[in-house]
């Protein structure tokens, strides 16, 4: 490595073209940004602008067509775990849990892949599930749980894996409005204790502002970053913070940045 | 505003949706009872009565048909003197030998084909061709290479078990949600873990239904092989009783085949409850 090891995650002019027989789709072009350690970054943007693609590139699930991704140097491992923490752990919108594993096996999967022994990973899991109110369901299968509980399990799995960066792709968008609010508060609470670096994708501007330190607004065709808005709001936060005039203003600002894109995607005049 | 408890102080226990109970205790051994059993039982009894009556009044020629009471008697006697037990055992051994070897290979290759597009594209035509070849027709070839012992029979049974297991396993891998593969990869699973923790358990429901098809196909072929080239087995009994027109023995063997089919099906249903408890419908 030529430069000094970065402490930040760096996305440097990332581009992605999907090639198919019929035509090529330019999904991302020149996407550059940095994420500081322990930062909560939200990404909003109209449907199809390439948010999920970007997240999958960061997760290492698909390769970028151009540009590069620099991960921060891993901290020296705190524990004598068999293998180092993975770079990222992703939380999907839905169906991310393995249906054939119990809640316990699901949430310990990341630790299992790291070679952490069964007694230790189950001990850690029980502690975490207890805080999360799902310990009683450790031996249930995902189909026996409500959507909200499943998403809490998915969050628990990601946090327990203890990756360098947590990636969340609309984790609460399949929930009803009230459960969503409660889970947002829960996420804030857990995050406060762990201070993980998070990249959080959402369509919900209120959610982005409530959770994030900084919001990136993406725009489509091809996907690029249109604007960056920081949310200088004290932590810990709670739902009442949404009523602050400052927050209202930021939300309105983000909406203005997005509105024309959304109209375009709906074929409405701007 | 002291009465407004801060959101962040609240714990989420109450989030558990009503009606969802932490119930790790699953009922597994409860196949037999239940009101649904009575209608089929009644139908079977009715059929047996009509059958008995039809043979007695010679509506069905007694040279070709035995009445159920005689069949039941014959089965009981042949079990008692051991003649049927031995032959049944030999047949089942060949069937399960074939299932183990051929079915096992079918699952392994099926998982590879389901997982990799390249493997699938390059092997599918071969599989399609080999599947269409009537297996009994190549029995002489097997006998020529493997002798006249158990080997050619088990090899043929394995060949028959192979295809349904392979095809079902491949379909099973195909219906795994791609998200699960991505999750495994993202959480650091290597190839061996991908196969043991995702691809195999994910395709298990369809593997089990493949087993049902494979068992029946293998059973039929083993009987056929025994009829043409065996010294022992259910097929030999069937063939000899045709030759000597021992109808009661003939019908006893056929009924026994049916019973074996039912028993194996029940075993599979039980296996599904134990192995795929996460499947809401235990349909094999
Ligand atoms: N595997 C793929 N092959 C071809 N095109 C793809 C593929 N994945 C995504 N695309 C295309 O890339 C673009 C971006 O898709 P992506 O899923 O990243 O959008 P998104 O911002 O996550 O949308 P949404 O908000 O609806 O989730 C879309 O035009 C989509 O059709
Ligand atoms: Mg998306």
Q: Which residues contact A106 (CB under 8 A, 6 or more apart)?
A: A97, A98, A142, A153, A157
- Do A105 and A125 form a contact (C-beta atoms < 8 A)? no
What's the CATH number for B68-275?
Answer: 1.10.3720.10
List the strands of the sheet with A214-219, edge to edge: A88-91, A165-169, A197-201, A40-44, A214-219, A224-230
Cβ of A31 below 6 Å from ligand 1 = no
pLDDT at B143 exceeding the cut of 70: yes
Residue A141 and residue A103: Cα distance in Å, rounded? 6
Strand, helix or coil at B48?
helix
CA-based angle A56:A61:A66, to the nearest 5? 75
Q: Which of A137, A142, A157 sits opposite B22 (nearest CB)?
A: A137
For B3: left if phi > 0, alpha if psi spans -120 to 50, otherwise beta; the answer is alpha
pLDDT of residue B7: 38
- Distance between start and end Cα atoms, chain B: 60
What is the average pLDDT value for chain A, to the nearest integer? 90
Instruction: Report residue B192's pLDDT band, with 50, 70 and 90 as the boundaries.
Output: very high
Both structure tokens of A93: 């919108």
pLDDT of residue B148: 82
Residue B220 and residue B45: Cα distance in Å, rounded? 26
Q: Where are the domains of chain B?
A: 68-275
Which residues are in the CB-under-5-Å shell of ion ligand 2?
Answer: A 52
Tell me whether the omega of the peptide bond preceding residue A236 falls within 30 degrees of 0, making it cis.
yes
Torsion of CA B152, B158, B164, B170, to 10 degrees: -130
Residue B124 and residue B117: Cα distance in Å, rounded? 10
Residue A204 and residue A224: Cα distance in Å, rounded? 19
Mutate to test the interface with B, among A56, A100, A235 (most CBs of B within 10 A): A100
Both structure tokens of B18: 């009503």
Q: Is B175 on the interface with A (CB under 8 A)?
A: no
List beta partners, residue A12: A68
Determine phi and psi for A90, rounding to 5 degrees. -105, 145
Residue A185 and residue A169: Cα distance in Å, rounded? 17
pLDDT at B126 exceeding the cut of 50: yes
Q: How far is A148 from chain B (nearest CA, A)?
A: 8
* C-alpha closest to that of A67 among A35, A34, A29, A41: A29
Segment holding A34, helix H or strand E:
strand A25-35
**Quick one: average pLDDT of A224-248?**
90
Beta strands in B158-255 (DSSP E): none
Residue B258 and residue B234: Cα distance in Å, rounded? 12
Cβ of A25 below 6 Å from ligand 1 = yes
Residue B85 and residue B65: Cα distance in Å, rounded? 23
CA-based angle B270:B274:B280, to the nearest 5? 90
By CB atoms closer than 10 A (0-12, 13-18, 19+), residue B170 is buried
pLDDT at A212 exceeding the cut of 60: yes
pLDDT at B101 exceeding the cut of 50: yes
List the strands of the sheet with A9-18, edge to edge: A25-35, A9-18, A66-70
Q: pTM (2 decimals)?
A: 0.86
- Do A198 and A41 form a contact (C-beta atoms < 8 A)? yes
Instruction: Report residue A74's pLDDT band, with 50, 70 and 90 as the boundaries.
Output: confident
- Do B140 and B148 form a contact (C-beta atoms < 8 A)? no
**Parallel, antiparallel, or unpaired for β A66-70 and A9-18?**
antiparallel
Residues A83-108 pLDDT 10s: 778 889 999 988 899 999 999 999 99
**CB count in 10 Å sphere of residue B21:** 11
Q: Which of A61, A90, A140 sits opposite B22 (nearest CB)?
A: A140
Residue with tokens 């959402």: A202
Strand, helix or coil at A81?
coil
Cβ of A197 below 6 Å from ligand 1 = no
Nearest chain A residue to B14 by CA distance is A133
List beta partners, residue A199: A41, A167
Q: How far is A31 from chain B (nearest CA, A)?
A: 22
**CB count in 10 Å sphere of residue A9:** 23
Per-residue DSSP letter, B82: S
Residue B111 and residue B200: Cα distance in Å, rounded? 7
- Do B136 and B178 form a contact (C-beta atoms < 8 A)? no
Would you call B185 and A144 a contact, using CB atoms and an 8 Å cutoff?
A: no
Instruction: Report residue A216's pLDDT band, with 50, 70 and 90 as the boundaries.
Output: very high
CA contacts within 13 A on the Cβ side of A61:
21
pLDDT of residue A3: 52
Does the interface ipTM go beyond 0.95? no
Residue A30 and residue B272: Cα distance in Å, rounded? 51
Q: Which residues contact A264 (CB under 8 A, 6 or more apart)?
A: A46, A270
pLDDT of residue B29: 56
pLDDT of residue B64: 87
């Amino acid at each position: 490595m030529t430069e000094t090891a970065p402490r930040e995650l760096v996305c440097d002019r990332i581009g992605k073209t999907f090639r198919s027989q019929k035509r090529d789709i330019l999904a991302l072009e020149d996407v550059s940004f940095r994420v500081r350690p322990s930062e909560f970054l939200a990404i909003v943007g109209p449907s199809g602008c390439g948010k999920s693609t970007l997240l999958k590139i960061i997760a290492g699930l698909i390769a970028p067509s151009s540009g590069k991704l620099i991960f921060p140097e891993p901290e020296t491992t705190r524990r004598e775990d068999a293998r180092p923490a993975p770079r990222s752990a992703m939380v999907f919108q839905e169906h991310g849990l393995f249906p054939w594993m119990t809640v316990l096996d699901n949430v310990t999967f990341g630790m299992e892949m790291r070679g952490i022994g069964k007694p230790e990973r189950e001990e850690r899991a029980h502690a975490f599930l207890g805080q999360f109110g799902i310990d009683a369901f450790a031996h249930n299968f995902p189909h026996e749980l409500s959507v909200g509980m499943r998403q809490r399990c998915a969050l628990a799995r990601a946090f327990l894996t203890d990756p360098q960066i947590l990636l969340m792709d609309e984790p609460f968008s399949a929930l009803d409005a009230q459960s969503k609010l409660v889970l947002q508060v829960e996420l804030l609470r857990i995050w406060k204790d762990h201070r993980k670096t998070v990249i959080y994708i959402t369509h919900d501007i209120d959610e982005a502002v409530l959770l994030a330190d900084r919001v990136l607004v993406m725009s489509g065709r091809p996907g690029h970053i249109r604007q960056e808005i920081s949310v200088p709001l004290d932590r810990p936060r709670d739902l009442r913070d949404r009523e602050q005039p400052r927050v209202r203003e930021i939300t309105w600002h983000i909406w203005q940045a997005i509105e024309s894109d959304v109209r375009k995607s709906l074929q409405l005049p701007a | 505003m002291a009465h407004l408890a801060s959101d962040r102080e609240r714990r989420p226990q109450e989030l558990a949706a009503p009606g969802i109970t932490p119930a790790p205790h699953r009922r597994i051994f409860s196949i037999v009872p239940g009101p649904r059993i009575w209608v089929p039982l009644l139908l079977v009894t009715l059929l047996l009565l009509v059958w008995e009556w039809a043979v007695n009044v010679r509506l069905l020629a007694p040279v070709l048909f035995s009445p159920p009471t005689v069949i039941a008697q014959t089965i009981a006697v042949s079990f008692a003197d051991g003649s049927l037990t031995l032959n049944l055992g030999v047949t089942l051994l060949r069937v399960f030998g074939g299932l183990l070897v051929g079915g096992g290979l079918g699952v392994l290759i099926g998982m590879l084909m389901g997982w990799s597009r390249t493997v699938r594209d390059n092997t599918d035509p071969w599989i399609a061709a080999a599947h269409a070849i009537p297996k009994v027709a190549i029995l002489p070839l097997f006998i020529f290479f493997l002798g006249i012992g158990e080997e050619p029979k088990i090899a043929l049974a394995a060949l028959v078990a192979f295809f349904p297991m392979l095809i079902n396993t491949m379909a099973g891998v195909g219906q795994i949600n791609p998200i699960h593969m991505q999750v495994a990869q993202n959480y650091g699973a290597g190839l061996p873990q991908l196969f043991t923790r995702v691809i195999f358990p994910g395709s298990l429901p369809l593997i089990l239904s493949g087993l049902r098809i494979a068992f029946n196909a293998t059973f039929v072929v083993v009987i056929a092989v025994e009829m043409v080239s065996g010294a022992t087995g259910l097929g030999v009994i069937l063939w000899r009783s045709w030759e000597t027109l021992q109808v009661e023995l003939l019908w006893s063997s056929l009924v026994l085949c049916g019973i074996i089919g039912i028993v194996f099906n029940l075993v599979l249903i039980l296996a599904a409850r134990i192995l795929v408890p996460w499947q809401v419908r235990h349909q094999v």
